[in-house]
């Protein structure tokens, strides 16, 4: 997967994915992408702006909460729907739905949420081989995310990480990492010191074995907390970055989106920058390319839109599509996910991609 503008080396001086050994890795890889992130079960419910205000939640953002706070928010929620989630896990699910080979690395407890998560992600073809943590009711639990969806389809999330907050180097599955073309990292993990250390080790393993590394900035609050580290990663360790308009302008401290695009271009990293109904801009070695959004009849829930966009883009880039068509495929996947409640696809993503001429 060629992603850097320099055909011989990445910005850190390591061999780039354009070198001959890269094709050898592609031929032997067991997985297209290994996705690393928080294993969470989503608990979704409709909510009003007034309810968000009473709960002290900022609309459209994600906040980390402890067990007690999570329980108090849950008490205010109406009818709920549970679904396995987590940003990187959603991306892995999307890749598998397209017919790709995806693995997931995360931590779960041996409780009902953990068993449900394990069953769900394996049932759709994603490789997941954790060592579940012994559960202690009310104390040691699988992570879960309360997702409050307002009438305008915006989602506001309160996440209790549970044992996901203990993700560390022991949870890295070297066999999966060295078998993949791309290691995809969830920016949310930078909130946890042990997970951050594990991510840096994963980057080293991936690059040592010829894989590319991609990072999702995940959320504006992640960028605010880790701006200098994310910039350092982009300049030295990444081949691909995913961000939305708010995240990328915040990261580079620019007055507007166009200036942020110029700043990204100077780094040499391939970037897929989403803009909601405006589509996305892919920053490539030959310049930025605008890709329109895929039309959708009605936006129901934007939960997982960025995750599924990344799934389509990563699948495309590991299956012969160029950046523009990969972004189009990402748009197809995102359009499907926002047409219903929940962050896992309900329609046949591959059939949708075939229908618009992106896959055979």
H/E stretch holding 98: none
CA 95 to chain centre: 11
Q: Is residue 146 over pLDDT 90?
A: yes
pLDDT band at 302 (very low <50, low <70, confident <90, very high): confident
φ, ψ dihedrals at 355, nearest 5°: -60, -30
pTM: 0.87
Q: Which two tokens stand for residue 83?
A: 């679904």
CA distances from 72 to 55, 69, 273 (A): 9, 5, 35
Collapsing DSSP to helix, strand or coil, 255 comes out as coil
**What is the reported pLDDT for 331?**
98
Please report the domains of the chain, with CATH numbers, ordered by start residue.
Answer: 20-39+87-128+165-355 (3.40.1190.20)
pLDDT band at 77 (very low <50, low <70, confident <90, very high): very high
Full DSSP string of 54-81: HHTPPTT-EEE--HHHHHHHHHH--S-E
pLDDT at position 21: 33
pLDDT in tens, 85-132: 899 999 999 999 999 999 999 999 999 999 999 999 999 999 999 988
Rg (CA), the chain: 19
CA 22/CA 11 separation, integer angstroms: 17
Q: Is residue 264 scored above 60 in pLDDT?
A: yes
pLDDT of the residue at 1: 61
pLDDT at residue number 83: 83
Q: Is the pLDDT reported for residue 18 higher than 90?
A: no
Query: Three-state SS for 82?
Result: strand
Gap between the Cα atoms of 353 and 329, Å rounded: 7
Instruction: Annotate 102-140 with DSSP letters as a single string.
Output: EEEE---BSSHHHHHHHHHHHHTT-B----PBPPBTTTB
Question: How far is residue 357 from each of residues 163, 326, 328, 329, measured CA to CA in Å?
Answer: 42, 12, 10, 10
Tell me the pLDDT tens digit for each residue of 195-221: 999 999 999 999 999 999 999 999 999
Q: What is the mean pLDDT of residues 72-90?
A: 93
Share of the chain above pLDDT 90, in %: 82
Beta bridge partners of 88: none
Least confident of 22-36, 135-149, 264-278, 327-341: 22-36
Confidence (pLDDT) at 81: 87
Least confident of 21-25, 37-41, 181-185, 304-308: 21-25
pLDDT of 149 over the 50 cut: yes
Query: What does the alpha-carbon distance between residue 172 and residue 42 come to, in Å, rounded to a whole number?
Result: 23
Residue 73 has pLDDT above 60, yes or no: yes
Q: Is the pLDDT confidence value at 343 over 80?
A: yes
Question: DSSP string of 148-206?
Answer: EE-TTS-EEEEEE-GGGGG--GGG--HHHHTTEEEEEEEGGGGGSHHHHHHHHHHHHHH
Q: How far, in Å, CA of 120 to CA of 325, rounded?
A: 29
């Amino acid at each position: 997967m060629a992603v850097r503008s320099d055909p011989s080396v990445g910005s850190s001086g390591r061999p780039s994915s354009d070198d001959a050994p890269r094709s050898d890795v592609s031929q032997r890889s067991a997985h297209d992408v290994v996705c690393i992130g928080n294993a969470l079960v989503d608990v979704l419910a409709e909510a009003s702006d007034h309810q968000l205000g009473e709960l002290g939640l900022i609309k459209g953002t994600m906040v980390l909460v402890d067990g007690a706070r999570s329980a108090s928010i849950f008490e205010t929620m109406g009818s709920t729907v549970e679904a396995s989630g987590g940003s990187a896990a959603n991306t892995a699910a999307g890749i598998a739905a397209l017919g790709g080979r995806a693995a997931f690395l995360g931590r779960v407890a041996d409780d009902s949420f953990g068993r449900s998560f394990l069953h769900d992600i394996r049932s759709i073809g994603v490789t997941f081989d954790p060592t579940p943590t012994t559960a202690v009711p009310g104390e040691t639990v699988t992570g879960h995310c309360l997702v409050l969806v307002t009438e305008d389809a915006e989602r506001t999330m309160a996440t209790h990480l549970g044992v996901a907050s203990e993700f560390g180097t022991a949870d890295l599955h070297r066999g999966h990492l060295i078998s993949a073309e791309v290691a995809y990292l969830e920016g949310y993990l930078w909130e946890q010191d042990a997970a951050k250390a594990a991510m840096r080790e994963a980057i080293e393993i991936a690059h040592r074995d010829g894989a590319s590394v991609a990072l999702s900035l995940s959320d504006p609050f992640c960028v605010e907390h880790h701006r200098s580290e994310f910039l350092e990663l982009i300049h030295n360790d990444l081949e691909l970055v995913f961000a939305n308009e708010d995240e990328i302008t915040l990261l580079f401290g620019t007055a507007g989106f166009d200036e942020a695009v110029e700043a990204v271009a100077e780094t040499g990293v391939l970037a897929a920058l989403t803009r909601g109904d405006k589509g996305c801009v892919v920053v490539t070695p030959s310049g930025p390319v605008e890709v329109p959004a895929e039309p959708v009849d009605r936006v129901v829930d934007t939960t997982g839109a960025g995750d599924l966009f990344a799934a389509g883009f990563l699948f495309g880039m590991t299956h012969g599509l160029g950046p523009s068509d990969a972004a189009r495929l990402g748009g197809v996947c995102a359009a499907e996910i926002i047409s219903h409640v929940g962050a896992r696809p309900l329609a046949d993503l591959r059939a949708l991609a075939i229908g618009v001429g992106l896959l055979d």
